[in-house]
Amino acid sequence: MTAPLVPAPLPHSVTVDLGGRTALVTGAAGGIGRACALRLAAAGAKVRAVDRDAAGLEELAARGAGLGGTVESVVLDLTDLDAAEQAAAGTDILVNNAGLQLVRPIEEFPPEVFHTVLTVMLEAPFRLIRGALPHMYGQGWGRIVNLSSVHGLRASAFKSAYVSAKHGLEGLSKTAALEGAPHGVTSNCVNPGYVRTPLVERQISDQAAAHGIPEEQVLTEVLLKDAALKRLVEPHEVAEAVAYLCTPQASFITGTSLALDGGWTAH
Ligand code: NAD
């Protein structure tokens, strides 16, 4: 009997009480960010949901109403780095999640897109951490969770900007872990394989063109080629790992990278 391609919905695996905590989640209108925002709100957190997609944030806030905590929308383009740093002031939990992807060979990769990817996925997290640390250090407690990827640990062809940004994020996360340790602040990466989100759906046609194969073969021959588990990860599974890293039981876990990659990096 083979494992199902989409796992049945499960109850939360982690009991986490974040009552009284403020959590900032970037990219909260997207697939993984939305799941993280809702998961942390369900744990009682006051969630500051940041995204440039105002309509997506509105939908999220409506969905978040009635959970244990609250969801407040902050419409912000993270390429405005000063605004990003200011938005992070006073948060107890920071989830650096916003991201974007372009699949192109290096010689065809637009330099301005490379610059934007590095700005949103590496420089903005640095500025957000910078903005969040004074409050975290002041109270002797903080949680930084960086949505990295298998591509923070492994490269794939045609993803130069994304792989560069994620490898940089791994270094930033580990540095924050070393500096934050004496202040009760942990910093970790979560490293999913391919998650069922708009970001993945949008790259199917580009992957087909870059690899010269039909779109219907992209999932099995490109995206899941190196994974032992031949299915996409669900956003709520990633959010559960993020919630776990915010528990008191995870206080000794810092500077690490938690792979949810279906065995990809076991190779
Ligand atoms: P998504 O496209 O569904 O969501 C990304 C969100 O980021 C969007 O809501 C978008 O509006 C926001 N965003 C992008 N640029 C922004 C900017 N300049 N300012 C403000 N917001 C901005 O993507 P996702 O799949 O949910 O990815 C979330 C994170 O998880 C990313 O960092 C991604 O690299 C990482 N990740 C995704 C996968 C996957 O398979 N989907 C796998 C591993 C890691």
Q: Which domains does the chain have, with CATH numbers?
A: 22-199+231-251 (3.40.50.720)
In the chain, the amino acid numbered 6 is: V
Cβ-Cβ contacts under 8 Å for 212 (sequence gap 6 or more): none
Atom of ligand 1 nearest to the CA of 53: 11
User: What distance in angstroms lies between residue 153's CA and the mean position of ligand 1's atoms?
Assistant: 18
| Of 36, 50, 51, best ligand 1 pocket probe by most atoms within 8 Å of the beta carbon | 51
Q: Would residue 162 show up in a list of annotated catalytic residues for this protein?
A: yes
Q: pLDDT at residue 65 above 90?
A: no
**From the candidates 137, 162, 194, 244, which is the catalytic residue?**
162
pLDDT-derived band at 80 (thresholds 50, 70, 90) equals: very high
Ligand 1 atom closest to Cα of 233?
40
Cβ atoms of 12 and 239 closer than 8 Å:
no
- Going from the Cα of 121 to the center of ligand 1, the distance in angstroms, rounded, reads 9
User: Under DSSP, is residue 131 helix (H, G, I), strand (E, B) or coil?
Assistant: helix
Atom of ligand 1 nearest to the CA of 77: 19
The reported pTM is: 0.95
Q: Atom 29 (ligand 1): residue with closest C-alpha?
A: 97
- Give CA torsion, residues 112, 100, 73, 96, to 10 deg: -100
Cα 24 to ligand 1 centre (Å): 15
Query: Is a pLDDT exceeding 70 seen at residue 3?
Result: no
pLDDT confidence tier of residue 1, bands split at 50, 70 and 90: low
The percentage of the chain sitting over the pLDDT mark of 70, rounded to a whole number, equals: 98
- Beta-carbon neighbour count of residue 11 at 10 Å? 4
3-class SS of residue 142: strand
Confidence (pLDDT) at 237: 96
Decide if 178 contacts 151 (C-beta within 8 A): no
The mean per-residue pLDDT over the stretch 122-145 comes to 98
Q: Give the total residue count for the chain.
A: 267
What pLDDT is attached to residue 203?
87
**Residue 30 predicted with pLDDT over 90:** yes
| Distance in Å, CA 183 to ligand 1 centroid | 29
The pLDDT of residue 216: 87
